[in-house]
């Protein structure tokens, strides 16, 4: 998928940062960091399923088979208003870019 250079750069920077991201301040403690990431992504589970596994034919758009980079692009588009929707533009504006990146990393399939 081709993206405008600026957006690609932002995505790249966010995805790269996640590798060594320590915020809030878990330092080297990987289990604590993973718990933080899982609990942040769990704020999406009410509508999109535990761990992003939504109910099939449940009536809610599924994110089950989305890649992390696609998901982050979409979440950021909702946040900036570039993409329209009913509730997602309103919810995405409540998260920081870093939080959206953690969520996308957590719930999306990883880049190969």
Partner 1 sequence: MSTIANRRQFIIQSIAGLSLFSGGLTSVKASIRKAEIVVIGGGYGGATAAKYLRLFSRNAARVTLIEPNTSFISCPLSNLVISQSCKLSQLTISYANLSNRHGINVIQDSVTSIDPDSKRIFLHSGQVLAYDKLIVSPGVSLLMNSIQGLADANQAGVTLQAWKAGSETLALQKQLHSMRNGGTFAISIPEAPYRCPPAPYERASLVAEYLKHHKPKSKVLILDANQDITSKGALFKKAWATNYPGLIEYLPNHNVVAVDAKTKRITLEVDDDIQADVLNILPAMSAGEIAVKTGLANSNGRWVNVNFLNFESTAQKDIHVLGDSIQVAYAMPKSGHMANQQAKVAAAAIVAELNDWEINPSPVLANTCYSFTSAREAIHVASVHQYDAHEQTFKPVPGAGGLSPEPSALEGSYGWGWAHNIWADCLA
Among 3, 50, 82, 111, binds partner 1 (CB under 8 A): 50
* Residue 102 C-beta: closest distance to partner 1, Å: 10
**Per-residue contact flags (x/-) with partner 1 for residues 2 to 21, judged by CB under 8 A:** --------------------
* Residue 75 C-beta: closest distance to partner 1, Å: 13
All residues at 6 or more sequence positions from 49 whose CB lies less than 8 Å from its CB, including other chains: 55, 62, 64
Please tell me whether residue 47 binds partner 1 under the rule CB under 8 A: yes
Does residue 24 have a cis bond before it (omega within 30 degrees)?
Answer: yes
Comparing CB distances to partner 1, the nearer of 44 and 72 is 44
- What Å distances lie between residue 84 and 50, 79, 103, CA to CA? 25, 10, 20
A 10 A CB-CB count for 9 gives 11
């Amino acid at each position: 998928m081709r993206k405008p250079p600026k957006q690609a750069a932002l995505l790249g920077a966010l995805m790269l940062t996640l590798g060594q991201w320590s915020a809030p301040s878990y330092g080297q403690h990987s289990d604590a960091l993973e718990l933080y990431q899982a609990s942040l992504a769990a704020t999406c589970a009410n509508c999109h399923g535990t761990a992003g596994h939504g109910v099939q034919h449940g009536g809610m758009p599924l994110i089950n088979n989305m890649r992390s980079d696609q998901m982050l692009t979409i979440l950021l588009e909702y946040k900036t208003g570039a993409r329209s929707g009913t509730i997602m533009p309103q919810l995405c504006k409540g998260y920081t870019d870093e939080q959206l990146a953690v969520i996308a990393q957590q719930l999306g399939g990883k880049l190969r």
